Amino acid sequence: MSKYVIGIDVGGTTTKFGVVDKNGHILEQDRIPTNQHEVAEEFIEDLYAKVGPMIERAGGTQNIEGIGMGAPNANFYTGNIEYAPNLKWKGIIHMADLMERRFNLTTKLTNDANAAAVGEQIYGCAKEMNDFITITLGTGVGSGIVVNGRIVLGHDGFAGELGHTIIRPGGRLHKGTGMKGSLEAYASATGVRETAIELLTEHPERESLLRNYTINELTSESVYDCAMKGDSIANEIFEFTGQILGESLANFIMFSSPEAIVLFGGLTKAGPLLLNPTRKHMEANLLPIFQNKVKLLFSELKEADAAILGASALIWKLKD
């Protein structure tokens, strides 16, 4: 058995990758932008330009067991990325095949959020839990679900798209999917920005520090900065985001009754500003039998690490 695995996390904006050993140590890591090219093959070339030298420094491909890869809408059973709304490559991409051909290494693919869930299970705060859900609050909203100790893949490998569940039927349009009122339309970095624009536009009479930003500068980070300074619209944005997220989490809990829900991704930097309203609305929408017993946690892993480690675990787990 070889010493190392390459873990690759393909995010909506950034792709992170690293060389991982059996103990979950990342020897080195780097990143490239995800959506620079219309064609997946060119993305793989960018990746090869960075990962190739890493493999050489690790002693060449004979020291690498394989490549584990997490990506949006990726399918473990087929090795394909299929119709990912947040990626430029449209239709069905035979990612595992393309990677194997370029790198000459076994490649296993899964949903990026599933990979992160495996990372939490092996290295993070879901250690020794058999039933938990991870929710990534980034550019989009991803999810990985573990039931009876195993990732839920579903009959076709596509299970766990909780970001696209509808929580406000007929509500806000999600431009990537054309669906209305999905969790991701609200509880993502993009969603926070849209809520900000909506509130500022609908209430021209209300003063807000957010009015000092240009429309391009209005991001979840600037909303956070203003909320911390006591801005009432900025606080209302997180209250609303937490309400939508909390209502959705309540629904997920009544589905699989997890021991914990682990949140990670950029939005979690908002800390209690997001966590408090989320918990409040989650509890308020649960049947009594579920109340006050589901742990709502922030991941303790660095985001990049969790994704890379989780992706790498796809290979290690197959060797168990």
Residue 159 sits in the site that holds a copy of itself (CB under 8 A): yes
Residue 2 sits in the site that holds a copy of itself (CB under 8 A): no
Q: Which two tokens stand for residue 77?
A: 């059973």
Question: Looking at beta carbons only, is 147 or 209 nearer to a copy of itself?
Answer: 147
Q: Hey, which residues between 104 and 143 contact a copy of itself (CB under 8 A)?
A: 129-131
- Report how far residue 76's alpha carbon sits from residue 157's, in angstroms, rounded to the nearest whole number: 6
Q: Tell me how far, at minimum, the Cβ of 214 lies from a copy of itself, in Å.
A: 33
Q: Coil, strand, or helix at residue 137? A: strand
Residue 83 sits in the site that holds a copy of itself (CB under 8 A): yes
Question: Looking at beta carbons only, is 52 or 154 nearer to a copy of itself?
Answer: 154
Residue 158 sits in the site that holds a copy of itself (CB under 8 A): yes
Q: Tell me how far, at minimum, the Cβ of 95 lies from a copy of itself, in Å.
A: 15
Residue 73 sits in the site that holds a copy of itself (CB under 8 A): yes
Q: Provide Rg for the chain, Cα atoms.
A: 20
The answer to whether 27 touches 18, Cβ cutoff 8 Å, is: yes
- Report how far residue 145's alpha carbon sits from residue 266's, in angstroms, rounded to the nearest whole number: 20
Sketch the per residue contact string, 175 through 204, with a copy of itself: x for CB under 8 A, - otherwise: --x-x-------------------------
- Report how far residue 10's alpha carbon sits from residue 72's, in angstroms, rounded to the nearest whole number: 7
CA angle centred on 67, ends 65 and 71, rounded to 5°: 160
Among 154, 173, 217, 319, binds a copy of itself (CB under 8 A): 154
The answer to whether 6 touches 54, Cβ cutoff 8 Å, is: yes
Q: Tell me how far, at minimum, the Cβ of 165 lies from a copy of itself, in Å.
A: 4
Q: Tell me how far, at minimum, the Cβ of 255 lies from a copy of itself, in Å.
A: 6
Q: Hey, which residues between 236 and 275 contact a copy of itself (CB under 8 A)?
A: 247, 250-252, 254-259
Please choose, from the candidates 7, 278, 259, 274, the residue with its C-alpha nearest in 3D space to the C-alpha of residue 125: 259
- Report how far residue 51's alpha carbon sits from residue 76's, in angstroms, rounded to the nearest whole number: 22
- Report how far residue 124's alpha carbon sits from residue 200's, in angstroms, rounded to the nearest whole number: 39
Q: Which two tokens stand for residue 195?
A: 């809520």
Q: Which two tokens stand for residue 26?
A: 């990342």
Residue 318 sits in the site that holds a copy of itself (CB under 8 A): no
Among 62, 148, 201, 214, binds a copy of itself (CB under 8 A): 148
The answer to whether 139 touches 128, Cβ cutoff 8 Å, is: no
Of 28-36, 150-158, 261-269, 310-318, the segment contacting a copy of itself by CB under 8 A is 150-158
- Report how far residue 11's alpha carbon sits from residue 1's, in angstroms, rounded to the nearest whole number: 29
Residue 161 sits in the site that holds a copy of itself (CB under 8 A): yes
Q: Tell me how far, at minimum, the Cβ of 142 lies from a copy of itself, in Å.
A: 12
Which residues of this chain interact with a copy of itself, rule CB under 8 A? 73, 82-83, 85, 129-131, 145, 147-148, 150, 152-162, 164-169, 177, 179, 247, 250-252, 254-259, 285, 287-290, 293
